[in-house]
Amino acid sequence: MRCLITGITGFTGDYLRKKLQNSNYEVFGTSFTENQDPSVFKCDITQKSEILNVLDIIKPDFIFHLAAISFVKSDPLEIYNTNVIGTLNLLDSLVELNIAPKKVIIVSSAAVYGNNEQVLSESASLLPVNHYGNSKLVMENMTINYFDKLSIIITRPFNYTGIGQNIKFLIPKIAYHYSNNLKSIELGNINVFREFNDVQDVTDIYLKLMESNIISEVINICSGVSYSIKNILDILNLELGYEMTVKINSDFIRKFEIKDLKGDNSKLKKMLNSDDLFKVALKDTLKKIIKKTQYNDEY
């Protein structure tokens, strides 16, 4: 069975690739940049001809669509072109080539819920507060129109992290400071709450969804447990035996800050018939990342 991962060289793609290979799948991928690996195709998904070419060569049995602009402060035009047009190109190309994978997993985001103060089920109001969240909502609405043509699951992952995540994201940034014994750090609002799940758990769930009979569903990928940034700092201060000084930088505080982003995973547990989907404790995730002592801007 052949799996195609768009954005395979990204943070999640690297973990998912190893997990699929360990389960004896043949794995191919796309990357925006050149790659020496013959199983990874250079492909700009905003160019339909390029994704058509890749699909025609691979003819995948399963697809994970991870390729996206995920950093909120990225250029809005780039966000919409990649997240919306890129997804449209993928879906249209499958239909045009008459390729019908057993499963197409389209990765959206919990950012579609916006500043919604409740434990968020899939039926909650969708009120994105930034271009990234809005691009994912547009992508979802467009993708639903292909449910009658392709076997699709739309996932809404909540925050997750792990070794290899780019340092511009919160947990790797904090880990960088602790790993290098820095005494202070500049952060925004440390009293916002987020889920901080482990990438290993998230990719395990993706594999389970791929091998399931589930189609035409929108599903939260969430543990339902959130922590504040202050909680993270407290855990690390205690674990490492010294207190990091936090300097609040107003430039890092978003205008429409989501105060508590926490999901309801009852649908996920019911669909996969399991109550034991998130196994890695936050403390263990943080300890693993801290052990990665050599950080740089490409981490």
Cα 148 versus chain centre, distance: 25
| Burial status of residue 297 (CB atoms within 10 A of its CB: 0-12, 13-18, 19 or more) | exposed
Contact 76, 131 (CB under 8 A): yes
Contact 122, 220 (CB under 8 A): yes
DSSP structure class, residue 163:
T
3 state SS for 227-296 = EEHHHHHHHHHHHHCCCCEEEECHHHCCCCCCCEECECCHHHHHHHCCCCCCCCCHHHHHHHHHCCCCCC
Distance CA 230, CA 219 (A): 29
Residues in Cβ contact with 118 at an 8 Å cutoff, skipping those fewer than 6 apart: 124
**Token match 């035996």: residue?**
241
Tell me the C-alpha to C-alpha distance, in Å, between residue 298 and each of 166, 286, 291. Answer: 6, 19, 17
Which residues are identified as catalytic?
132
